[in-house]
Amino acid sequence: MVCLGNICRSPMAAAVAEDLIGQAGLDRQVEVESFGTARYHVGEGADPGAVAALHRHGWTAKPHRARQLEVDDIKAADLVLCADRSNLNTVRRLAVSGGEDPSKVRLLRSFDPGRRQGDDGIPDPWGGGDQDFDLALAAIEPSCEGLVRELATRLAV
C-alpha cells in the first residue's frame, strides 16, 4: 500500500487489508506492507486521525513507522497498490528505473467494484478532521474487500 507520506491512507489501507486477509484465512499466503513516496514523515507513527478512524469503524490499528518506498521494495512485491494517480505515476517511474514491470503497480481503487468512472483515488485526509479520515476509509474499505476477493480466487488455484 502506497500513499504520499505513509501516515494516513497507506497505513489505513494496510490495516483494513490485513484484517480482511486474516478473516479470509489468507494470512499465511499474503503479506501487507505500507510505504510513502516522499520522505516527509519517515520514522513517524500513523496520523492520530487515521488511527481514530480505524478504531471508530472496528478495524485493528497496527503499530506503524512511516517508510519511503525504494526500488527493492517494489522488486520484493507481487503487487503495489497506490492511493492516487500522482503516487501511481511516481511508483511506476521508480519501478521502471529499477527494471521492474510497472504493470504490477495499480490503484487500490481499481479493486472497488462500486467505484464510479473517474473516481479512482482515495482522498488525502492529512490535515483534516474526522470526516476527512472517515471519507478516506470509506474508499479504502470496498477497495480492500475487492482486493481480498480477488486474492482468494487467485490463491485458491
For 146, other C-beta atoms within 10 Å of its C-beta total 18
Task: Tell me which of 9, 92, 120, 144 is the catalytic residue.
Answer: 9
Q: Is 3 assigned a catalytic role?
A: yes
Angle at alpha carbon of residue 122, lines to 121 and 123, rounded to 5°: 110
Q: Can you give the C-alpha Rg of the chain in angstroms? A: 14
Cα–Cα distance measured from residue 30 to residue 17, given in angstroms and rounded to the nearest whole number: 10
Q: Are the CB atoms for 10 and 83 separated by under 8 Å? A: yes
Task: Tell me which of 19, 47, 84, 124 is the catalytic residue.
Answer: 124
Q: Is 144 assigned a catalytic role?
A: no
Task: Tell me which of 3, 8, 82, 144 is the catalytic residue.
Answer: 3
Q: Which residues are catalytic?
A: 3, 9, 124
